[in-house]
Every structure is written in structure tokens, then in C-alpha cells.
Amino acid sequence: MLKYYLVLGILLIQQSVLLGQYRATEWADRDHWQNTEVILKNLDLSPGMAVADIGCHEGYLTMKLSPVVGDRGKVMAVDVEQYKLNKLARRLKQQNIINVKTILGDYDDPKLPLNSLDAVVILDAYHEMDDYQKILKHVYRALKPGGRLVMVEPIAKSRLQWTRKKQAGKHEIAMRYVLTDLKQAGFAIRSKKDPFIDRPSKNDRMWIAVAVKPKS
């Protein structure tokens, strides 16, 4: 009997992974340290607006954005791996969420419509982007004048002075590199905070920067 329940438990876990169904406690734990409310506040969204979540993975932040922009708004969830988008799509269908559009992006192009977005967020994904200049160029063009780009990335204090390449090898990036990228892409820096939050799961910290596409 014990063996039966062990096998059943393993099958349920496997099914949960395949369906992309997180246990409630997993995302709840992330809510505790991710400080998502501050990220949403910096996006400055309201019902009816359009926002993109680039590097959405399986939808942690996408699911937070959906109720903020409401039925008249739009969330564009972008990732370069289709299986992650498939998991998100199943979750959206299960919860009858209709204001999210999943987009399979290229590694140098998130494939967002021009001049259409009020805000964009890139959470813990920018350090993976080798063609970051092209990415930022596309984001800039997709934003409306005055649109906001919120970046949140990790960096361990001990690696702050490392080269960009070495930091990327650890799946991190210091804020100074990204601020330079943003300015070169034409963005104005509205605010920045480093450190923003501690990330207990990786024993490092995350910073946040808010950039704006000028209105003129």
C-alpha cells in the first residue's frame, strides 16, 4: 500500500510539471520576496492599457499583470521557448483569462507591434539576451511615447565588479551595464534602486530600474 501511494505521488508531481501547474505555495513564496507590488507600481498601469512581459517563462508576472489592465487591456507574454508558452496558455484557459496573448519571440526580436504598448517589463531575463541592443531597439519602437520599461535583474555583491560576460555566465548582470544600454537605446532613466530585494533562493540580490521613452 505504501508503495502504491509513493508511485501515485510521483505521477501526480509529473503531471503537475507537464501541465505547468505550480503548487500555490511556490508562487506564494515568490510573492513574499519578489516584491511584485513595487514592480507593478513602477509600471504605472491602469485598466485598458497594454503591457508586455518579455521573458515571461511560465507566466508568474503575466498572471499578475492580467487583472491590473482588465478586460479592456492587453498583456503580451513573450518567450523564446514554445513549451513555456504552452504551459502558460493552458493555465490561462483553465482560469478563463482572455486578455493575454502569448508570443513566440526570436532571440533578437520580441515581435511586438509598433507604438502599441504603455509599458514593458523584463524580469530576470535581460542577462540572457546576447543581442540586447537589438532587443532594446525593438522595445523602444513598441512603446508609445512616454511608455515605461521596468527592468529587474540579479547580481551578487561579490560579482559586482566582474566583466559583463562573467556575470552573464552566472545568470546575473550589474545595473551599471544595463543603464548604459538603456541610454544608448534612447531611453531616459526615471528611477533606479540597487539593491531592490534580496533573493534568498540564490543568495544574491536584485536591482530595479525604470526607463522611459521620451515623448518628443
Question: In the chain, how many domains are there?
Answer: 1
Determine, yes or no, domain membership for 19: no
The pLDDT, as a whole number, for residue 21 is: 45
**188-199/204-212 β-pairing:** antiparallel
- The answer as to whether 117 is a domain residue is yes
Structural domain includes residue 41: yes
pLDDT at 169: 96
Type of residue at 116: S
Q: What is the mean pLDDT of residues 191-213?
A: 93
Amino acid 145 reads P
Grid coordinates representing 21 are 501547474
pTM: 0.87
Q: How do residues 140-169 score in pLDDT, each as one tens digit?
A: 999 999 999 999 999 999 999 999 999 999
25 band by pLDDT with thresholds 50, 70 and 90: low
Cis peptide before 195 (omega within 30 of 0): yes
Whether 206 and 199 have beta carbons less than 8 Å apart is answered as yes
Mean pLDDT over all residues of the chain? Answer: 89
Residue 45 lies in a domain: yes
Task: Measure the CA–CA gap between 70 and 52, rounded to whole angstroms.
Answer: 14
Is 95 part of a structural domain of the chain?
A: yes
Average pLDDT over residues 122-135: 96
Q: Please name the residue ranges forming H helices in the chain.
A: 2-19, 24-34, 36-43, 60-69, 82-94, 132-142, 164-169, 175-184
Length of the chain: 216
Question: Which pLDDT belongs to residue 24?
Answer: 52
Whether the CA torsion 41, 107, 188, 116 is positive or negative: it is negative
Distance between CA atoms of residues 72 and 66, nearest Å: 10
Cell numbers representing residue 18 in the block: 507537464
Asked whether residue 47 is domain-assigned, the answer is yes
Looking at the predicted structure, is the pLDDT value of residue 212 above 70?
A: yes
Question: How confident is the model at residue 23, as a pLDDT?
Answer: 52
pLDDT of 3 above 70: no
pLDDT digits (tens, 9 = 90+) for 53-90: 999 999 999 999 999 999 999 999 999 999 999 999 99
Cα dihedral 119/180/103/166 (nearest 10): -140
Residue 3 lies in a domain: no
First to last CA, the chain: 71
Residue 206 lies in domain: 24-212
Percent of the chain with pLDDT over 70: 88
Using the predicted structure, report yes or no on whether residue 117 has a pLDDT greater than 90.
yes
The CATH number linked to 117 is 3.40.50.150
| Least reliable range by pLDDT among 6-10, 43-47, 116-120 | 6-10
Is the residue at 14 inside a domain?
no
Distance CA 86, CA 63 (A): 14
Mean pLDDT, residues 179-199 taken together: 96
Contact 116, 88 (CB under 8 A): no
Question: How would you classify the pairing of strands 204-212 and 143-155?
Answer: antiparallel
